[in-house]
Amino acid sequence: MRVLVTGAGGQLGRDLVAALGGSVPEGGRRRALRGPGAPLVPSGLDVVAADHAALAVDDRTAVLGALDALRPAVVVHAGAWTDVDACEADPDRAFRVNAMGTRHVAEAAARVGAHLVYVSTDYVFDGTSHRPYVEWDHPNPLSVYGRSKYGGELECPPGATVVRTSWLCGAHGANMVRTALRLAAARGPLRFVDDQHGSPTFTADLAAAIVTLATDRLPGVFHVTNAGATTWFGFVRAVLELAGHDPGRVEPIATAELRPPRPAPRPANSVLDNAALRLAGIPPLPDWRDGLERLVRVLGPRA
Ligand SMILES: NC(=O)c1ccc[n+]([C@@H]2O[C@H](COP(=O)([O-])OP(=O)(O)OC[C@H]3O[C@@H](n4cnc5c(N)ncnc54)[C@H](OP(=O)(O)O)[C@@H]3O)[C@@H](O)[C@H]2O)c1
């Protein structure tokens, strides 16, 4: 079974490719798009790792051409413009990549009969709910990024798998764990907001769950996050504690106190109930503290 991963050079993309049994070559990025004849990996999956340089999803001709040549059975579409604040200043770019890009991937996948798995976000919700969101709650994104990613959801055909996830952290990207470890190594207090609630999710755990959903071609929306929830303040305290720093250095602040204010509004509560996974009998992801412990071990105390 050939699986093509878009955005394969990203934080999640790299762990997805690894979970599928492949690797993203360093340097010579175009070689990452491996064509027919690439060796089958032992799992029986033939992974095509398409990073941004190899395949820009906002280039319709390129997307149609690549899928026509490669004929994957499954496309895991993880490529996106993920700079949430920058999206506010350039909505056309956000929609071109995140919404139209997904339209192109969906069109190309349909032409070759490939199953589509689209990776979406907790930021499709407005955060006003006082309980975790289930898959059947109504999206109402606050930010351009959230609207553009929801646009991508609307481009997915009924049989596609839509995976909404949140607060991603992994070994290969810029994320809150790395930021916290960097700040902890310097002097001074660390101030993090205590009024945004979410579920930190570790890309290695998420990638494994996506492989299950993708290879089983399960249709519909799935919330897939590590179990448990916290605030950014609580999360950074846990990072410092696990890395052997003093968690007492972390001070809680309100989002309204951030200076300068962040351009993109964030939902106050974006905890996702993984209801569809549970109801489908698929094992839940481990607690976020478990994933964090593993990631801090990999990154070391001064990542
Ligand atoms: N990070 C989070 O907290 C979070 C939360 C919920 C959902 N998600 C979703 O999860 C997925 C993976 O996110 P991530 O954290 O791994 O982000 P990431 O590290 O930024 O990965 C996204 C990848 O997409 C690539 N990309 C950007 N524009 C593209 C284009 N036009 N065509 C093809 N690829 C393009 C980027 O390449 P360049 O960097 O070279 O441009 C990057 O390698 C995304 O769909 C994101 O929306 C992320």
Query: pLDDT digit string (tens) for 213-249?
Result: 999 999 999 999 999 999 999 999 999 999 999 999 9
Give me Rg for the CA atoms of the chain. 19
Helix (H, G, I), strand (E, B) or coil at 124: helix
* Span 55-110, pLDDT tens digits: 999 999 999 999 999 999 999 999 999 999 999 999 999 999 999 999 999 999 99
Confidence check: pLDDT of 208 > 80? yes
Q: Does 119 contact ligand 1 (Cβ within 6 A)?
A: yes
The dihedral through the CA atoms of 166, 169, 173, 174 has a sign that is positive
To test the pocket of ligand 1, the residue of 5, 82, 83 to mutate (highest count of ligand atoms within 8 Å of its CB) is: 82
* pLDDT for position 187: 86
**Contact, 207 vs 18, CB < 8 A?**
yes
To test the pocket of ligand 1, the residue of 4, 12, 55, 143 to mutate (highest count of ligand atoms within 8 Å of its CB) is: 12
Confidence check: pLDDT of 131 > 50? yes
Please tell me the residue having the least CA distance from ligand 1 atom 15: 11
Percentages helix, strand, coil for the chain, rounded to the nearest 5?
A: 40, 15, 45
The alpha carbon of 132 and the centre of ligand 1 are apart by a number of angstroms equal to 24
Neighbours of 176 (CB within 10 A): 16
* pLDDT for position 42: 38
* pLDDT for position 198: 98
**Range 156-160 average pLDDT:** 97
Q: Ligand 1, closest atom to CA 83? A: 20
Please, what is the end-to-end C-alpha distance for the chain in angstroms? Answer: 36
Q: How far apart are CA 256 and CA 72, in angstroms?
A: 47
Which of the four pLDDT bands, split at 50, 70 and 90, describes residue 43? Answer: low
What angle is formed at CA 229 by the lines to CA 227 and CA 232, rounded to 5 degrees? 135
Q: Facing residues of 231 across strands?
A: 197
Note the pTM of the prediction, 2 decimals: 0.94
Mean pLDDT of the chain: 93
The alpha carbon of 159 and the centre of ligand 1 are apart by a number of angstroms equal to 23
Q: Tokens standing for 126?
A: 């407005």
The alpha carbon of 12 and the centre of ligand 1 are apart by a number of angstroms equal to 8
Confidence check: pLDDT of 8 > 60? yes
* pLDDT for position 239: 97
**Contact, 67 vs 115, CB < 8 A?**
no
Which of the four pLDDT bands, split at 50, 70 and 90, describes residue 206? Answer: very high
* Span 161-195, pLDDT tens digits: 999 999 999 999 899 999 999 999 888 889 999 99
Among the options 118, 123, 145, 150, which is catalytic?
A: 145
Q: Facing residues of 222 across strands?
A: 163
Kindly give, in sequence order, each residue whose CB lies less than 8 Å from that of residue 193, ignoring residues fewer than 6 positions away.
231, 232, 233, 252, 253, 254, 255, 258
Q: Ligand 1, closest atom to CA 172? A: 19
**145 an active-site residue?**
yes
Say which residue, 191 or 42, is predicted with more confidence: 191
Q: Tokens standing for 284?
A: 């839940």
